[in-house]
Each structure stands twice: as C-alpha cells, then as structure tokens.
Chain A
C-alpha cells in the first residue's frame, strides 16, 4: 500500500483464481465424485431399505392396534417428533449461514437441504396422529380461544397443525429445488443417462443469465426466511398439541421455543454427522475440510449452552415456585420415573458437548465433532422418548379434562415399547437415511455452483512472512 499526500491510502486489488479452467476443474472434480456409486453404498442402501420395510410393517401393525389407548402411542409420537427435530431442522444449517454470508457453509448447504426430502416421511407418520389429537370440545386447554370467540372450530389444532407441517415440507422441497437449479443445468449439460434426462427436466431452461441468478438468489432468501418461520411455528404446534395439552397443569410458555431450539441443535448435529460420512466415505475429502467442522462445532457449542439455559429457565421457575401442579409436572418429566433417563440426556446433550467443544482442537478436528454429534443425536432421541412417552402415558389416563395434575396422578414407571414401536423407531430413522442416500445419486451432495462462486471471493496472499486467506463479502 502506498500513502498519497492526503494521507488516503491507495488500495491494490487482490487477484482471485476465477479462470474458466479452475471453474471447470471444480465442476469436473465434484461431478467425478458424484457419478461414482460404490458397492458399499448399495450394500448400506439395501440394509437401510430392509430396516425401512420393518418400519412399514411396524406402522401397519400399530394402526391395526387402534387408537383407543393413547398411552401406547408415546413412542410413535416420539419418533415423529425426533424426525421433525432432525431432518426437518437440518436445512436451517444451510439457510442461516447463507443469510449471514458465511463462506464456510458452502460445502455444507446442499447436504443440509437434501434432508428436507426425508420430511416426506414425517407426513406419513403424521397422518394417524390427526385421529389421536383431542378436539377442543372435551374442555382441554386451548390456544384457540375455543368457547370464548365465535367461529373457532373444535378441530382447530388438527387444521392448523396439518397446514403447518405440510407447509414446512413444501417450503423445504421448494428450497432444495431452487438451490439445485444451477446444478441440474450442469447435469443436463454434462451428465449422462437418466441423470442428464432428469437434470434437463428439473433445470427448467436454466442458462445462468444474470436475471436467472438474481431471481434464484432472491427466491432462496425469501423461501429460506419462510422456512425458518414455519419451522418455529411447527415446533410451536407440536410442543403444544402433541405434548403440553396432554399433561394437565403443564403451562410452560418457554417450551415451544425450547422445542424449536432442540431442533436446531439436533439439526446441526445431523448435518455434522452427514459431513463426516460424506468426507470419510463419500469421497469429498478435498471439499469438506476442517473449517466446516470448526464452524459447525461453534454452532453446536453455542446451542448446547442454550439447551441448558432454556431447560433451567423452565425448571427453575417451576421448582422454586413450589406450586403443587407444577411440582407434579416436574415429578413426571424430570424427578420421577424418568430421572435416570433425564440424567443420561443431560450428559449427552449438554455436558459432553460443552466440556469438549469448548476446546478449539476438538472443534477443529473431524472425529471430535462427529462423535459429539452422535452424542447429541442419541440424547435428543432419548429426550423425545422421555417427554412424549411420559405425556402420552398421562393422556391415556383420561385426565385431559382436568386442568391441574396431582402428585398421585404421576405414573410410577416408564411405559415399555412394543415390538411395533421398535420397528417404527428403527425403520423410519433408517428410512430417512435411505431417502438421503438415494437423493444424493441425483443431486450432488456438495453444491457445484456455491463452490464455483467461492472462487470469486477467495484469494491467498503473502502477508509479511506468512500466507493468509482473504475473503470477500458480497454485501
């Protein structure tokens, strides 16, 4: 840099490597990985497929047992909530850093968005739940001002929850399609066989004109923002209609946010683990680096700390308040039969990530974040089981008409799952993974256009005695 007489400094430009050759090399490299499907991939796909068939068997079996005894449906709802907490929340890992213009998200965003396809499974699981939701006519607590306002239908929860969940899935699919448009065009132009055919159909005449790029960026921003809002509302409905209304006296205004937060935490963990597998076994080692695990690790650390804060904010107000009905709720969810399960969850979801991710070497590694993501996912599944099984157990005891729960109403033991519950749990989780795996055969798991866009903004320069990375910000 050279100073001019006015003490203003003249700034030279930094050269980026955005040549046609480099861009082609990125495309060729990523398409090369995408086009190879190993035998091991098909072996695992077959394994998950078999497990998914067991899930379907469990699903039919469950339906055949009927809807009368709600206490037996806890595990089923827990699986539904777990999938909503993981696969449906994963796209947020693409949306939020994209809005914040973080470059480290580039190799991550596509895989995060593909998870939205697994949301279609949630729709299947949701259908029987419509019959299980209590209507407003039985005097249950309601968010809908039933009986206080004219024109509120008794089936408001069913209508709104259905609209929200379907809306979330549709928004997710739109986001994935918008984000994949330029890559479909690459498949159309450079792909072979069925990929070329489907790429052509789904690219909708994409040519990469300035107008098309502007349109795509703008729509992705809008759909992403709506996806986030819809995600929060879906968790609001789930936490109220599938959880709180079944436990008399459980009035926790923070819980919908806690549920949404749990989803973000589990969503980050899902994407982290996906990145690990794509890097280690998917051939993307040159594209998914430590920066991605570092960025996700920081997010997971922050979200784990928030997990504790949200939980404690609710717990403390109930515990310190000493109100009998709230003590009974604590007995049901934390201190009673689920105490040991809760301690396990506490360790897996908060203690382990916090005490390990706080160290930079753990965050900036491949194995550390992957192990901790597994811990968070197991913890989240157990947490869903704790909350939903306990709540639906109470729902099965016909206390919905009461507004307060008494200590003697609290069940003394944990409901055990039936074989059909285990089939559903294993099968539908495996089904989600299978959908993700199959989707990566059509859609490149690492974004081509975002990787090429990165070439515009990234440069390496000599800075005194070392080399440093210079990152540009488009806005």
Chain B
C-alpha cells in the first residue's frame, strides 16, 4: 500500500465508532425503505403460500425458476467473505485489513438470503421439519441422504455456522471497545455479554488470533464444498443437457468469487460514500481488488470457454441445440449477450487502466455490471436447460417469472442491504483491531529517492532459526 495515513489508536476509535454511537441522517429513511421492500416480499411469499405455487411462473418442464437462479447467485456472493478474509489473511496481504469485516458480514447475510429462496421455492416451508424428523413416523422414512438435495442444506448450514463463528471471533476485540465506550447501561450490558470478558490480555489476544487463523483454514474447505455441492445439484443429472459437466464445481466457485469480490468492491465504494471512510479505504485498496478481479475474471472466462468448448466437443445434437437456444434464440440470446458484455467484456478491459482501478465511481459501476452479468449467468444455466424440448418431456410450456417471484427476488436484495445497514449501526464495519495492528506493524523504508511502505513480518529473522538448528 503506497498511500497510507498513519493514525493514532484514539483517532481510529473515534472515526470507526462514530456511526455506531450516533445516527446518520440518511440511515432511518434508508432502513425504512428497505424494510418496506422486505415486508412486500414477505407479503408476496405469504400470498404464494396461501394460493400455492400456481401463482408463480413455474410449470412443467421448468420447475426451477428464478428462485433457484437467485439461490445460486447469493451462494456465490457469500464466497466473497471467505475469499477476501480467510485467503488474504493466510497469505498476509496487508491491504485486506479495512475490508475484511464488511466481506465477512456480507457472507452471513447473503447466505441467509440464499437459504430462504429454496425454502420459499418448495411452497410449503414447514415441511423442512422432515429434514429432522422422518416423513412417516410410524414407518420411519427418512430423507434420502444420497440425494444432492440433502447435501445442499448440510453444506450451506455448515458454512453459515462456520462463517458466523468467524465473524464473531473477529469481532470480539471491537465489541470490547464498544462495551467500554457505550453510555447507556443496557447497551453496555449487551456489549459486555457479547464481548465474553475480552480485556485484551496477551493470552486473550493469542487465543483470538489463533482462533482466527484456525477458522480461516477450516472454513476454506467448507467454502469450496458449498458451491461444489450446489453445482452438483445440476451436474450429477444426466437428463438435462448442459448441466452434466465435470467443470461445474470449479466453474461455479470461480464464478462465485468473481461476483463475490465484485460485491465487496461495491461495498467498499458504498462505505466510502455513506460513511466517509476514505481515510481507511484508499484508491490503493480499489487498485488491489481490481487487480485481483482481473485475475479472477480471466480465470472465470477460461472456465466458461472450456464449458462451452466441451459442450460442442460432445458432438451431441441436443447439447448443441441447447447452446443455440442459450446464445441465439429469443429471449435468451439478448440476455446471453448482456451477460457476456457486463460480466467480462466491459469491466475487464476497463480494469486494465490504472485510472479506472483507482476510481471509486468506476469501480462501483463496473462491479455492479459484473453482478448483473453473473445473476444472468445463473438464470441462463437454470432456465434454458429445463425449457428445451427433449424426447422424455411429456408436457412443455415456457417460463416467465410472475410478479410474486420478482417481488421475492427483490426482497432478497433488500434483505441483504438492510442487514448490512443494521449491522453497521450496532457494530463497526471496519475492524478496529485489524487496522490498528496494521498501523503498529507498518514501517517506511527509503529506496533511493523513494520512500516505500514496509511491514513487520511474523516470526524471527531467518538466521535465528538457522542458528538454532
């Protein structure tokens, strides 16, 4: 990081807790609006529950509509937290410090958003109890554990628990600061309960850091397994052309990282604009995340290319017909073009320019485009695959999402935004302790006429180990 403002711990506390301890003017109207959208979506859901799934556009053979596309999209977004936080933490990337918390919190809210779309999709969500109890009590009929649909909730549930724990462990020192600064006794008491007696003793710091590293390492396989399993919902089927592809697991993961990291860049821009955190989130941070995005987007595009090449390599007429439907026929053709243009063709060449990478506005809008494209990608995987007429389909229609489905999908977006705003009201969106640690570790080195930033690295200098041997 070339740009850096060295701040005292006091200044950091004041800057980053300002919006927790006071209420910004825009906060209440924004929360009310988002709350209203969420309530409207829930209203649509109860309407659907009362009238049945007939109020949606779902019909044979398209029994998975925008709900499932949206589910895959939010699972993808949830990968940002772990990608940014765990991987960058393990690789000791210094630029991660101000952005890890927002990414981790977004993981939790997007996972909840992801989980509730398939729940709504089943029409009768109370039947989720059958996952815990047998279908038929007298005969003890349990869900089939060999079904990919049993793997899904297990993986997503594990990921939700692990990432919540990760967020909580990383929050502990900051909650302790809030406990010490809160003025109202009831608020102080709540923070005190949450802080679990954290006082910042050397032993507590050691445990907190160790837990953070351990959870980072443990949550990584979970992160990989979640989207792999989601992809296998599709890939293990041989009945739908276009889904039965071995590349789906890595392709879904890299796509998830592409959309998730883009979402983090969006969040960074919003944090700068809404909370005035430009002293902490600098153009250098946008530059670093844009460089990461160039690599991720190019890798994702290569996987996409391979997926298509191998579809054509099969020489199977149904597979080729599906690709024609996806890419050239109405209404999917234009959506396909928008998907390619927004997720790769526009943003990646733009990110090659330093001026774009360092601009908050450019980064915000290019990453918004990526997420539009990546939502459409999921839509184009789910719907055309099912809609194509095959010899085994006895009935077919077309699919148009109904207003009920659209309201529920919009609700998920509002839910995540609302969750983030509420979180930022009670807990800091930038980790105070991590930023302070960065300030403590930071040094400057003069190279010729330039002064460059330097960091204290963990462990003793190399020759100390050598002497010990």
Contact = CB atoms under 8 A, between A and B. Distances in A.
Nearest to B284: A475
Interface in B317-370: none
Chain A interface: which size bin?
35 or more
Contacts of A460: 461
A253 B457 contact: no
Dominant SS among interface residues on chain A:
mixed
Contacts of B460: 466-469
A16 B306 CA distance: 48
A463 B440 CA distance: 10
A418 to B, nearest CB: 33
Contacts of A309: 224, 228, 249-250
B144 interface: no
Dominant SS among interface residues on chain B:
mixed
Interface in A220-272: 232, 236, 251-257
B313 A142 contact: yes
Contacts of B228: 309, 313
Contacts of A473: 1, 94, 452-455
Contact of B246 (A317, A456, A467, A474): A317
Contacts of B235: 317
Interface residues of B, number: 57
A13 B6 contact: no
A473 B93 CA distance: 11
Interface string B6-18: 1110110000000
Nearest to A313: B249
Interface stretch (A1-9, A49-57, A198-206, A373-381): A1-9
Contact of B2 (A313, A314, A457, A475): A475
B454 A321 contact: no
A322 B445 contact: no
Interface stretch (B64-72, B152-160, B236-244, B264-272): B236-244
Contacts of A470: 443, 445, 454-457
Contacts of B244: 317, 321, 323
Interface in B241-277: 244-250
Contacts of B205: none
Contact of B238 (A13, A143, A322, A468): A322
Interface in B1-56: 1-2, 5-8, 10-11
A320 B243 CA distance: 13
Nearest to B148: A320
Contact of B307 (A9, A253, A475): A253
Contact of B314 (A7, A251, A255, A471): A251
Contacts of B466: 289-290
A314 B246 contact: yes
Contact of B232 (A255, A316, A456): A316
Nearest to B298: A229
A155 interface: no
Given A9-B7, A14-B444, A253 B310 contact: yes
B452 A321 contact: no
B246 A14 contact: no
Interface string A277-314: 00000000000011100000000000001000110011
Interface string B214-241: 0000000100100010001001111000
A472 B6 contact: no
A456 B306 CA distance: 43
A12 interface: yes
B454 A457 contact: yes
A472 B315 contact: no
A313 B246 contact: yes
5 contacts: A10-B6, A11-B443, A13-B443, A13-B451, A253-B307
Given A141-B315, A456-B447, A472-B452, 6 more contacts: A9-B6, A257-B250, A313-B249, A457-B447, A472-B447, A472-B454
